Amino acid sequence: MATLLLVKYPQAAIDVATLQSPLSEVNQAGLTSQGMHDAEAMAKTIATAFEGAARIWSSPASRCVEPANIIARQLGASLRVDERLADRDLASIDTSPTIEEFRQRQERGFLNPSARMAGASESPWMHRARVESWLADVVSQGERDTLHVVVSHGAVIEHIHSALSLKPAAAMEHSFTYCAPSHCHIWSSVELPDGRLIWCCLGANVNLRQSSAELSLGRDALDELAADLAMDARFQELAKRSVVEPAPAVVSAGYIR
């Protein structure tokens, strides 16, 4: 069973700066001392709940790379930094917006996700397409029994969560699944009797600084579901038909419309 752990970075300099601080002064800064402490707790929680092969992914932002490195070290895994997991590019709107202005622009973008603000490099829809290209690459590999830990930004986590839920990008105008700092969304795959994988959401906004019990319980439930599906006559018949009439492969992780 493959698992995606979509992790929001812990407290960073950008979170404690005043609203009038220029974004350029803190955007490339890393974690606070509290954030570093929380990252250690998060890493221990993940290591306790999961065993086996793991891949650690990160946005290139320092506030994501720092906790991702701590998690990778705790799990004995390598870290992969991918530009496609970066936050939406709003830096070109002007030379140095304040944090307050930057956040207001982020929020306005979700109210009209198809529109690219004047001077901005990406609309939310364009951002979604970039993030989905990473997700499609990972999901299409069909890896079994691999934990993918993704340390990134709230909008990136929402895009992956929505794509796996098969929600169109326009749904951002009406819904958003929030992920707090040091929290995660958990998605795991279940193998059907015909070998295909389906993705199930085991939890949203799960606190990684606390006990690993909630993470482990979700995986146990999926193991039981997989066993139930394997014994179900309807799925057994579906598996037989798929051998004779194989269904076309699905290569996209989600869709945008």
For residue 39, pLDDT beyond 50: yes
For residue 21, pLDDT beyond 80: yes
- DSSP states along 60-94: SSHHHHHHHHHHHHHHT--EEE-GGGSPP--GGGS
Instruction: Identify the pLDDT of residue 214.
Output: 64
Amino acid at 100: E
pLDDT tens profile 129-178: 999 999 999 988 767 789 999 999 999 999 999 999 989 888 888 888 89
Closest CA to 187 of 209, 207, 159, 160: 160
Instruction: Identify the pLDDT of residue 247.
Output: 43
pLDDT tens profile 174-209: 888 899 999 999 998 887 766 777 888 888 899 998
Distances (CA, A) of 45 to 63, 148, 184, 215: 19, 15, 12, 9
Rounded to the nearest angstrom, the gap between the alpha carbon of residue 164 and the centroid of all alpha carbons in its chain is 10
Instruction: Identify the pLDDT of residue 230.
Output: 63
What's the pTM?
0.83
Instruction: Identify the pLDDT of residue 227.
Output: 64
Higher pLDDT, 114 or 251: 114
- Calpha distance 205→210 (Å, rounded): 12
Instruction: Identify the pLDDT of residue 257.
Output: 36
Task: Go through the domains of the chain in sequence order and give each one's CATH number.
Answer: 3-244 (3.40.50.1240)
User: Which residues have CB under 8 Å from 193's CB, separation 6+?
Assistant: 229, 230, 232, 235, 236, 238, 239
pLDDT tens profile 96-117: 788 888 888 888 877 888 877 7
Average pLDDT, the chain: 83
For residue 252, pLDDT beyond 60: no
Amino acid at 49: A
- Following CA atoms 136, 137, 139, 140 in sequence, which dihedral angle do they give, to the nearest 10 degrees? 100
